[in-house]
Chains A and B, each alone.
Chain A
């Protein structure tokens, strides 16, 4: 028996990934997974954009053609030795038989090294007898009993020819948090190190799928039977909390709910009259009536125009504010008229004309360049980061360079000066081919070259079956109301970044579509859930929870909302550029308008996404300005301030304290607070000192955490 035949015979039983029909090693389905499993084609190694050590592979094997050229053909085939297969660099380097900067990646006597050698001995055939059809992992979801438990992971590939192969050995299992669990790369056994919900990403060929592993946060089951359930949201949220054994906090009291809902839906604090009306309307319909009233208010239109304007990044262009103004007015009308989100999106995407007259046409002046437009559109409307597929196929998602440059090719056919029009000539160069990219609906199909692809893209995007559009939007609505997206970041929806509550996200999206893409409907659905009504007060068992909604999350007020709140409470309105006096910050169309207040409070100028800013909550600089700067102090001591007027009107200090508590915190001071401030005022020796104490009181109120957050 020859050595080669002996080798083949010995390999055959375990050599399942080799082409079983021809016995040729399958480059695409066998060689590349070995390199991926060994980490050769990661971004830190030869998968880097410039390669490493003069050898470049496609990232995670996303481009087998490229890899074959690199391995077999480049530099006169120096990486494989067809006369002495075992002397090939492809084998010697990863087995560290010669010096290798990446260390030992394959065992010299291991099956992978032998398979590589066998492939070279076969003459480096480019065989791909079957294409990967489906890739499954087991388990997909697992609830473990305890920390320290072990779990066997398995991966199965189903090929188009009907072959089913256990590819666990060639699958890369990567935990999202390496401190939460470890995975033995040889045996694919996970060992759980920490309680919580953990994600493991399994990669084989160009497929990546998540595995969800849960280790309950407590050894004791929690009782959920008594927890209120108002709609499907609560079913999903409580089910996961039960699995995780996280107890739920009580429902928030009425005034906390009032302040939260009013801020979330109108960007304003409840007025003193509003508080009274709400309390007078006690009963089972109290909260529903409040929510409906807020959703139908002019303040809602103004505030949600701001929210949408941030998403759309509406801002003045250089020496041209007219377009942004027109865009903002158009948007406000859409919100006020209850235009369905899909309709609004179609109008934006297919807009043409003079941007001073056609509001949505300004969408095409938001970012510069067709590629940037593709990135913006995909992040905004699909919640997907197509930008990763600019230089290489997306390593963690389905997007390819064809998708990225194909979508850019659609936008390239536009003139994006003041007048938006289709020129039909523009193109983008595909970096892999060096030729003009073909227009393409991402992940779907190429388009005819001579059409305006925007129509097709908009139709595909807003189709009821589209898997991205509705989810991306309801996830943002959820974040706006609940303080955290079901998927974070909100522009990064992908299988390997799964939602904390996947079924809930799907139900919310389906519900949104069923109700004609109605923004108000979904906001109402969320606002009336028991999950939304939860108290921010934590329990010992849920204090660490920041993503499963066992208690309300405290969120910093947006800069525009805080600026308006300061104006409302102090009675001294901020001035914004040359806007009419009394203009509210949330009503401004241009985020770059001159304003010290917004500068201090940390506004987003909308040149990039504002979604990260919303999470930040301001930094040290903002807090120092707020505490020590003139933003509060100057207005506090202004003779026209609310405080000055109340004092001048002879209002008693305790009544002034009560009124400011109601204005800022939507509640009365409790006994301890009331007593404290009464003592402080009583200690004043004269009116001047009394006023100073009252100014100190307002300063402390407006800088306290309870005021600067929605909770």
Chain B
């Protein structure tokens, strides 16, 4: 056995040690001008140029783990969400493009897994502590605390009228909230395992539609305002991240097999299965003007994908 003194010495030195592998890329956000992209991992925040992905700079953050990022509607702020696992969850607002921290929103007991902007001065955060908090980022005060999920809340999105908030949870449910009153409107409970992410379909005619992905290997399409699950696709791997292509014509899903699948929302047919990273693909973002996808995965992997437009 090693001596206690030796081990003590080692532990004192351990904080300086970084792992032999890069941490996974857990969140991706394209800058409002589309010229750069922000990447998040346990290593912090880094900005790369687009489309070459060359490192540009690092952004300073107090978060130990980062799980989500979102630019404000006016493009002047970047909300970064995460926390210290099992201890505290917070969102940090950084001025864009400067990167200076303008405020930190503390109030969760565990990591914040998702953040979404309600408008330029309000955000919602979803945490593993089972709660959703709507914040006024000017006053840094909570506006509403939404309680209803029985396990961690994994993702959030606002519908276009901004009064309706949809959340997904590890309790297998999606919940529809009135963000002004803080009241839960309904629960969508067709998933049979933990739900990881949600994505709102870009503006199309008709009722708003969202896509959700779950450990039950399904991608489900919903009309949340009427509480209807429209249809679902069953996949051979567990989907972890979901986005809509910019025109809303297809759903892109990143999964544990490292592939990205493009799915027709009308037929739920998988149109393309594209290799992206080795291992789990955690994060996914769609460039709003050039139509490319950026996928982040284990060991800091990044992959730019241009969907084959010749295929349906």
Contacts and interface: CB of A to CB of B under 8 A. Distances in A.
A592 B4 CA distance: 68
A73 to B, nearest CB: 5
A3 B14 contact: yes
Contacts of B152: 54
Nearest to A7: B10
A85 interface: yes
Nearest to A87: B64
A570 interface: no
Contacts of A73: 256, 279-280, 298
B17 A89 contact: no
B138 interface: no
A75 B86 CA distance: 12
B24 A77 contact: yes
B20 interface: yes
Contacts, number: 128
Interface residues of A, number: 43
B13 A83 contact: no
A15 B7 CA distance: 12
B21 interface: yes
Given A10-B9, A10-B10, A124 B217 contact: no
Interface stretch (A113-121, A213-221, A399-407, A475-483): A113-121
Given A13-B2, A81-B42, A87-B64, A114 B18 contact: no
Given A3-B10, A73-B280, A14 B22 contact: no
Contacts of B65: 76, 78, 81
Counting chain B CB atoms within 10 Å of each CB, the highest count among A78, A92, A99, A111 belongs to A78
Contacts of B41: 83
A73 B196 CA distance: 13
B21 A98 contact: no
Given A76-B26, A111-B2, A123-B20, A83 B7 contact: no
B218 to A, nearest CB: 11
Nearest to B42: A83
A54 B11 contact: no
Contact of B1 (A14, A75, A79): A14
B13 A79 contact: no
Q: Report whether over half of chain B's contact residues are helix, strand or loop; otherwise say mixed.
A: loop
Interface residues of B, number: 47
A85 B14 contact: yes
B174 interface: no
A82 interface: yes
Given A54-B128, A98-B87, A111-B1, A117 B23 contact: no
A443 to B, nearest CB: 29
Contacts of A114: 2, 7, 10-11
B7 A10 contact: yes
Contacts of A434: 217
B145 interface: no
B8 A77 contact: no
Contacts of B217: 434
Contacts of A11: 2, 10
Contacts of B170: 54
B15 A86 contact: yes
A54 B42 contact: no
Contacts of A655: none
B26 A82 contact: no
Contacts of A6: 9-10, 13
Given A7-B14, A82-B22, A122-B19, A110 B7 contact: yes
Given A7-B14, A110-B7, A54 B151 contact: yes
B14 A123 contact: no
A10 B85 contact: no
B23 A82 contact: yes
Contacts of A117: 11, 14
B23 A83 contact: yes
Contacts of A54: 128, 151-152, 170
B220 to A, nearest CB: 17
A117 B16 CA distance: 12
Contacts of B2: 10-11, 13-15, 111, 114
A129 to B, nearest CB: 17
A695 to B, nearest CB: 66
A705 to B, nearest CB: 55
B64 A76 contact: no
A75 B18 CA distance: 21
B6 interface: yes
Nearest to A13: B2
A75 B85 CA distance: 11
25 contacts: A3-B17, A6-B9, A7-B17, A10-B7, A10-B9, A75-B113, A77-B26, A79-B85, A81-B23, A86-B15, A86-B17, A87-B15, A89-B86, A92-B86, A98-B86, A99-B87, A109-B4, A109-B8, A111-B1, A111-B7, A120-B19, A122-B19, A123-B19, A123-B299, A124-B19
Q: Shortest 10 CB-CB distances between A and B: which pairs?
A: A123-B21, A3-B13, A82-B19, A123-B20, A82-B23, A14-B1, A10-B6, A7-B10, A76-B26, A86-B14
Interface of B: 1-4, 6-11, 13-24, 26, 41-44, 64-65, 67, 84-87, 111, 113, 128, 151-152, 170, 217, 256, 279-280, 282, 298-299
Interface of A: 3-4, 6-7, 10-11, 13-15, 54, 73, 75-79, 81-87, 89, 92-93, 98-99, 108-111, 113-114, 117, 120-125, 169, 434
Given A15-B2, A109-B11, 18 more contacts: A7-B17, A10-B10, A14-B1, A73-B279, A75-B113, A77-B42, A78-B111, A82-B42, A82-B43, A83-B42, A83-B44, A86-B14, A86-B17, A114-B7, A121-B14, A122-B19, A124-B19, A434-B217
